[in-house]
Structure 1
Amino acid sequence: MIKKMKPWLHVWLFALAAQAGAAPVSVKDDRGLLQQWPAPPQRIVSLLPSLTETVCALGACERLVGVDRYSNYPAAVDKLPKLGGLDDTQVESIVALRPDVVLVAPSSRVQDRLAALGLKVVVLETRSHADVKRVLQSVGQLLAVPEPLKVWQQIEAQMAEAAAGVPASARGLTVYYEVDSSPFAAGESSFIGETLARLGPRNIVGKELGPFPKLNPEFVVRADPQLIMVAQRNAVKLAERPGWNQIRALKDKRLCVFPPQESELMARPGPRMGEAAKFMARCLREVAPK
């Protein structure tokens, strides 16, 4: 039976750390909830790959004591306890790890249960570039890491370098970026869409449709993109979808298929977005009109 930590114990630990000279830290998460710790958390559970990568990019990988099933970068996190996914998060295993904080996405279904069991849960959303920058700052504040936005500066520098390598003839190409064969697309307001905008193509999925909308397949046919970007797992039989054999991208063979490691990286809104931009820029160089 898991027992909730008594409130007085939190107060006692806070006072003990303060007496020892440790500096308390506080952070407001994306629920607007402000929480405080008597000292920077040393035992962290992350239940989202992009948050795992953020902790590591800020130089605090050694503080992770458990991660979700899909966290696999950097390699060091593969040795940590895997605590399930969105539908099967292992709550008792998380509590047994005695984390100082659990980092989760808003979509986490166990955040309230973990909080009810006495754990401090920080909810962070990363859908856009601005979100990624803000989350870097929030996690840096939580971990008392100096200058966390240096990581953002590195991302920006990589994106600028990638954009500089895109031929002028590729700028303005209309593009459809598929994130799932349902089909779900990466819209202009998503972090993927914002990276594409930096590189020059025009997204057929406008901001008014949201970051990752589910589309009617006919939408793509009507939009008739000049370029399609898709993960290898979703690229099978694209031309066999109703009407898709008439899409310019497929007729002109302007199709970029990303292998699993690349497509996985590109789907994570975090410290490696600059690397993702380089993969997109490579695609644009390969399909650029001569």
Structure 2
Amino acid sequence: MKKTARKFLSFAAVLLTFLAAPAEGIRGGQAFPKRIISLAPHITRGLFALGAGDRVVGVTTYCNYPPEAKKKEKVGSLLEFSAEKIVALKPDIIFATEEGNPPQVLSRLKSLGLNVYVFGKTESFGGASAQFRALGNMVGKEKAAEKILKKIEKRRLKIIKKAEKLDKVKVFYQLGTNPVITAGQDTFIDEFISVCGGTNIAHNVKNRYARYSREEVVRQDPDVIIIVDMGKETGQEKKNWARFSQMSAVKNNRISVVSADLACSPAPVALIEGLEEIAKCVHPEAFE
């Protein structure tokens, strides 16, 4: 009986050790990584928000927030990286994303013996929060992650509660031009539009992100058009839509521009600000 008990306790100890491990991708002998490379802007933002920015040794050229991230060594863009520079930085772990980084590039990094952890697709606010929580666990910042997520959820629920009392308005969300790109179902953008009291006219497109013709937008006659800031092209896009004077969004001057950093970054610390910005576009009378 005692021998059985000892075996059970030994098994339990091993199981607890396994469950307490940070996650797949962390080096066996090192509890938490001290040298981190981030290959995605939202991961970089998340690491700094968690208080692990001092451990980041390399980032992409697109990692521009917070300002401190700009001072970090640049290892490449989202699609191409300098393997030599990455190896020279001696990272304990490299954080990448399934949607943002090419699999062949990540495979090459792994073939060099580098420790690469790839986050999956982000399809909802809940998914983004789960990834942020996982990131916190992997860098030893679980409590910080939970504290941040608790505050974010409070802000999110405040928007939901207010939007529940509002009439639904039709929304078109533009992510790109030439061709026009929008977001469909199974995206946090689609979820945000609904949460804010809107109906995404492109909800039923086949792909999560897809081309959408201007003619179809005109036919659907949205009450609101939201354009993600595209720099110099943004002003021209507003003029392009203004040509369709019969559309409700044009007649009522309901074409808005939102920050790409906030509205397209799957980091909860940015998403909540993006959600609040979208809410002001969809129902300015309630959220201004």
Length-normalised TM-score, structure 1: 0.79
The 8 Å contact of residues 54 and 136 in structure 1, kept in 2 or not, is answered as yes
Of 106, 109, 115, which residue of structure 1 is paired with 2:110?
115
The 8 Å contact of residues 163 and 281 in structure 1, kept in 2 or not, is answered as no
The CA distance in 2 between the partners of 1:286 and 1:219, in whole Å, is: 25
The 8 Å contact of residues 95 and 119 in structure 2, kept in 1 or not, is answered as yes
The CA distance in 1 between the partners of 2:156 and 2:235, in whole Å, is: 26
The CA distance in 2 between the partners of 1:78 and 1:237, in whole Å, is: 30
What SS is found at the alignment partner of 2:23?
A: strand
Structure 1 gap segments, 5+ residues each: 1-23, 29-33
Please list the CA deviations of residues 231-285 of structure 1 after superposition, one character each: whole Å capped at 9, or x if unmatched. Answer: 3433414454698443221122111123xxx232211011221111221222234
Distance of aligned partners of 1:168 and 1:284 in 2 relative to their CA distance in 1, 3 Å threshold = farther
Of 193, 215, 221, which residue of structure 2 is paired with 1:224?
221
What SS is found at the alignment partner of 1:42?
A: coil
The CA distance in 1 between the partners of 2:283 and 2:186, in whole Å, is: 24
**Percent sequence identity over aligned pairs:** 29
The 8 Å contact of residues 221 and 243 in structure 1, kept in 2 or not, is answered as no
Query: In the alignment, which residue of structure 2 is the partner of 1:236?
Result: 236
Of 133, 139, 154, which residue of structure 1 is paired with 2:135?
139
The CA distance in 2 between the partners of 1:106 and 1:243, in whole Å, is: 38
What SS is found at the alignment partner of 1:272?
A: helix
- Which deviates more from structure 2 when the two are superposed, residues 230-239 or residues 137-146? 230-239
The CA distance in 2 between the partners of 1:153 and 1:212, in whole Å, is: 30
Cα RMSD between the aligned structures? Answer: 2.6
Q: Does 1:127 align with 2:114?
A: no
Length-normalised TM-score, structure 2: 0.80
The CA distance in 2 between the partners of 1:187 and 1:27, in whole Å, is: 31
Map 1:243-254 → 2, pairs under 5 A:
244-254=244-254
**Number of residue pairs aligned between Structure 1 and Structure 2:** 257
Map 1:1-290 → 2, pairs under 5 A:
25-28=21-24, 36-38=27-29, 39-107=31-99, 108-109=101-102, 110-125=105-120, 126-147=122-143, 148-163=145-160, 171-181=167-177, 182-207=179-204, 209-233=206-230, 234-240=234-240, 244-258=244-258, 262-270=259-267, 271-286=269-284
